[in-house]
Chain A
């Protein structure tokens, strides 16, 4: 079983819609969770971090964490074509390593 799993996509949504990205992880000792955005040919950039159960909102982005279900999600409201990228879920595990999922490719259609 992979440590961090994501649907590879591509996920296509129309402009203005809500994009929903999901991630599951296997290490129950994980304490910190992150969403990174990566444009083609570029390095990842941090969008959100979340450390406790519940929701965290930052502008059009909302991260949700459910440690009991070992599940993290990212919602993007009012999706824009500039949001088209690969979204990487990352988990800081017990060994103090950041483990990444394979990423979900999002395409926002004008």
Chain B
């Protein structure tokens, strides 16, 4: 079945630590996106990529980094510069509509 796989489902980060969230898709979509969702809030765009080896900052890119070396993969790194990273992170890909992965819940410990 085609879809988007995010891993891990739960992730714990210590202060000062960088962590990487994985996102893989086999839908053959060119565009991929990372969103952050805080409790009771909508989705805010972190980064997006329309094509391999190219990506753009979204509304809340500070403290995050991405890479797009392959069409299928769009990993997100949450750096130590992101002071409040506890949130639900959603990866998505698109042809004409957005399809989401199951999400990664990140908690600072």
Contacts and interface: CB of A to CB of B under 8 A. Distances in A.
Interface of A: 4, 32, 34, 36, 42-46, 49, 88, 90, 96-103
B100 A97 contact: no
Interface string B68-109: 000000000000000000000010101011111111000000
A46 B48 contact: no
Given A96-B50, A97-B58, A98-B33, A34 B97 contact: yes
Contact of B97 (A43, A46, A88): A46
Given A98-B33, A100-B43, A43 B103 contact: yes
A46 B99 contact: yes
Q: Is the interface of B mostly helix, strand, loop or mixed?
A: strand
Given A45-B100, A46-B98, A46-B99, A88 B33 contact: no
A103 B42 contact: yes
Contact of A34 (B31, B98, B102): B98
B42 A43 contact: no
A34 B35 CA distance: 16
Contacts of A99: 45
B53 interface: no
B93 to A, nearest CB: 11
Contacts of A49: 96-97
B96 A44 contact: no
A23 B48 CA distance: 24
A43 B90 contact: yes
A25 to B, nearest CB: 13
24 contacts: A4-B42, A36-B98, A42-B102, A42-B103, A43-B101, A43-B103, A44-B43, A44-B90, A44-B98, A44-B100, A49-B96, A88-B42, A88-B43, A90-B98, A96-B31, A96-B50, A98-B33, A98-B45, A98-B94, A100-B35, A100-B42, A102-B42, A103-B41, A103-B42
A54 to B, nearest CB: 19
A34 B99 CA distance: 12
